[in-house]
Structure 1
Amino acid sequence: MAKLTETSVQQRAPDEILHPDSRALFRFWESVRGESSTAHRNDIDLRHIKDLLPWLAILERHPLKPEYAWRLAGTGVCKIWNQDLTGGQFMADWDNFERDTVCRLMDNVIASHQPCVARFKAVYDDGEMLGIEMLSLPMTPADRKSTQVLASVVPFRMPYWLGETNISRLELSSVKMIWTEHSTRSPRHLPDVACKGRAPSAKPLFRVIDGGR
């Protein structure tokens, strides 16, 4: 089983990953995958990331439909949505445009075995808002028949009301693909997208950045 050694802890996470928990998960994933393009579930010892477990999730693509399901969702992730997410549809709270965008991003994580980091805003029924970062990493499950997404979903603050009100909508702010060293394949082309409520920018929303060792 992989251990989060002192060396692996010191591995650098890309600067574009902002949240400390996301950065910790990226470094752990790097230490587990070694020379492989993904981390294998059998090699992940959750004891070494026990403090991250409430904010972790596993996403699985539907074999026929362009959608993803929460195969597992930690207690903290469920608290953000104020409901038990496991078994539910991952993109249920996105509008059609952003749902399509997020689905293609997850498809790219699976197809190219490259991580991505996204930031979005949750708007709640009572008008409260919460900034969230989601790091998505390719992971091979125990049966090795497919690729799943191991994700951290972490809020940038912990308001007292978290877990007491429901999300009314999610607004995507930014997404960046992270280029790791295992492969010479480029991520699929993703068009530049202006986030809802913002004017189009010359700076693309989707950008490949260097990461990994």
Structure 2
Amino acid sequence: MFRLQFDLDRIIGTLEREGWVVIPNALSATITANLRTACLDMWRQGLFHEAATGRASGQACRAEIRADSVLWLDQVAALPAVQAYNAAMDDIMQAVNRGLYLGLVELESHFAVYPEGAFYKKHLDRFRDDDARTLTTVFYLNEGWPQQAGGQIRLYLDADCREFVDVGPEAGTLVLFLADRFWHEVLPARQQRLSVTGWYRRRRSSMPW
């Protein structure tokens, strides 16, 4: 657990009560800096691809909905920075399973780069025909992010999407929330925005569709 810089019990308690939590300086500065370097290196090498919406045969790139580019971490799993990140996130998964009995079995995640002007319109993270995604994770890599640069994640706290909280994409901040409960969006970024976005998954149940 040495990779984590926060009280896991307190975080799990907040997740249980609220369904979401924001953790500043969640991982070590070294892990954060190494991830940022790896992300930018892969970006410069042209390894990212335009992000899509939907899944399986319904997957499509729709720039009017989201304008970021992604690189899945399993494609670069041998990088030391990625290994350190995955180990830290595994610590969180084990603790959440002990405290909340969510039955999480794996984490799927990707680097996400939002070029200047990019955004992601309001959405839920769980697919209609697949209930495996259970807990969303967003870890930010931007050092010294100015408030006027936008790019916040807007997390809607009620079913009518009238109440919300905005979280700036400052390096080291980790956001966790239940994937099937919270609508959210990424506000337009006025400069390049970097993150690692992922989903803790449980085993898929038999769906009625």
TM-score relative to the length of structure 2: 0.30
TM-score scaled by structure 1? Answer: 0.30
Report which structure shows greater RCO (CA 8 Å, sep ≥6).
2
